[in-house]
Chain A
């Protein structure tokens, strides 16, 4: 029941040979993404792992529509993407909260931009503020919050627009271990109950194996998806999942791969 990968349907997100080159033709040109292709189906939880600077954020921004790829196409439910829209919501690596808006106004951001009235959305906004554990901080400004709290405001802002696909760029990096576990459970709950699709960047192998149905492993720059690891552990996953022998095996596979990539990066003198 929880394995919702119905392969016959059109993928919710499909991308074909995406290339992103920053400052093309100039001396400081950077080939950030190279021939990245893939299909993601509704209800999947995809994690992207790869060394720092390999193009993970670039890939997520491209999938959101924020970044026009140098070449390649993206389809959502079969129709091409021309820019950001309500189907996908982004949780940014650098939080990107409006400093002049309170926690409440920041969480409300996407709904307000969509033209929803303040009274209609109040309950929804409060629901997501509570979900990330920031009850009582609605009227605070971002500069009055800790790094982890800011990050949770960014997560609530993404959840609040209730998109089909959630794009999360290292969303838990500044959050303490205990809160992180709660947040992981919440994301899984949302994904299972509301059939959301999640694309998730992380540097934590444990987090990736625990959450994902599939993991994309990326190479050093130019970023390519060099391997896909399917995690065949049924949802819902609990803390006991972590004790399964296959859980440890998956972690080992990914660890070995990453070590290889990081070595390559060091040899090129880039890290």
Chain B
């Protein structure tokens, strides 16, 4: 162990002195630049039919357009609001997961159903949700909720069950009440798992909102994508997809930062 540590630390230390960009950033950046370059080249050499697909400079120009007119913000605001509300509701999965992980009887009673609902491609329920909750915002909020609650719940539950048994023993030995056991041991131990659950849930929430908007409604990123594709505005359509991609990467990175703040004992 010691030797490995040394080998890992020495080079990173000397790197810091020269103020280099971290490798976790510089390496993928190079890959990205190469991909964009080759892609653009293919487009310029007329290897890509603009009706079927597009290339970076055209996509970028379209993006510039809808940013300048503010069109994209209108859609983002609506989609963001839908994701926000649905996601906030899905956080109820944390307390439920804590309880199901802790009380064996609750787990036995509900676990098969939770697992079934988690593994079902619930996105197939979108038409039903539209029928129940209407063409407007509510159906999207409910879809986001339905898709993102389960990864949060299941990961929280797993986190509780992964709690080191000797820590539970120590807390019991020092007279922990049920409430103290949750506060001092089980919840902190589950935090990293909860965050993983949230990260998985973000991906599903974005899928839910986009698909629901594509199927019904007249505003939101999903609608914008459908609209552009129906008019065969392929570059515009791809530009919206890129916006979505960038957003989800940013959200995930933000969460990683957040995790470091919440779980400082895990820094390695």
A binding-site residues for B, Cβ under 8 Å: 61, 64-66, 83-86, 89-90, 92, 94, 96-101, 109-110, 113-114, 141-143, 157, 161
Contact = CB atoms under 8 A, between A and B. Distances in A.
A89 B173 contact: yes
Contacts, number: 62
B174 interface: yes
Contacts of B169: 61, 66, 92, 96
A161 B265 CA distance: 25
B174 A109 contact: yes
Given A84-B174, A101-B184, A113-B176, 11 more contacts: A61-B169, A66-B169, A84-B172, A86-B175, A92-B169, A92-B173, A100-B263, A110-B175, A113-B175, A113-B177, A141-B265
Nearest to B169: A66
B264 A84 contact: no
Q: Interface size class for chain B?
A: 20 to 34
A45 B191 CA distance: 42
A92 B264 CA distance: 24
20 contacts: A64-B173, A66-B173, A84-B174, A90-B170, A90-B174, A92-B169, A96-B164, A96-B169, A98-B185, A99-B266, A100-B188, A101-B184, A109-B170, A109-B171, A109-B184, A113-B176, A113-B180, A114-B175, A141-B264, A161-B174
Nearest to B189: A100
A65 B173 CA distance: 8
Contacts of A89: 173-174
Contacts of B15: none
B38 interface: no
B167 A96 contact: yes
Contacts of A142: 265
A61 B265 CA distance: 28
A115 to B, nearest CB: 9
Ranked nearest first, the 3 interchain pairs of A and B with the lowest CB-CB distance are A96-B170, A100-B188, A110-B174
Contact of B166 (A94, A110, A114, A141): A94
Nearest to B263: A100
A57 B169 CA distance: 13
Most buried by A among B174, B184, B188: B174
Q: Is the interface of A mostly helix, strand, loop or mixed?
A: loop
A157 to B, nearest CB: 8
A11 B189 CA distance: 40
A150 to B, nearest CB: 13
Contacts of A100: 188-189, 191, 263, 265
Contacts of B265: 99-100, 141-143
Contacts of A94: 166
Nearest to A85: B175
A86 B185 CA distance: 19
Interface in B218-268: 263-266
Contacts of B167: 96, 98
A61 B168 CA distance: 13
A92 B166 contact: yes
A161 B170 CA distance: 13
Interface string B151-167: 00000000000001011
Contacts of B177: 113
A96 B180 contact: no
A114 B184 CA distance: 13
Contacts of A66: 169, 172-173
Most buried by B among A66, A86, A98, A100: A100
Interface string B26-44: 0000000000000000000
B211 to A, nearest CB: 38
A113 B188 CA distance: 16
A148 to B, nearest CB: 15
Interface in B88-115: none
Contacts of B173: 64-66, 84, 89-90, 92
Nearest to A61: B169
Interface in B163-205: 164, 166-167, 169-177, 180, 184-185, 188-189, 191
Contacts of A141: 264-265
Nearest to A100: B188
Contacts of A143: 265
A110 B180 CA distance: 11
B166 A96 contact: yes
Contacts of B184: 98, 101, 109, 113
Nearest to B267: A143
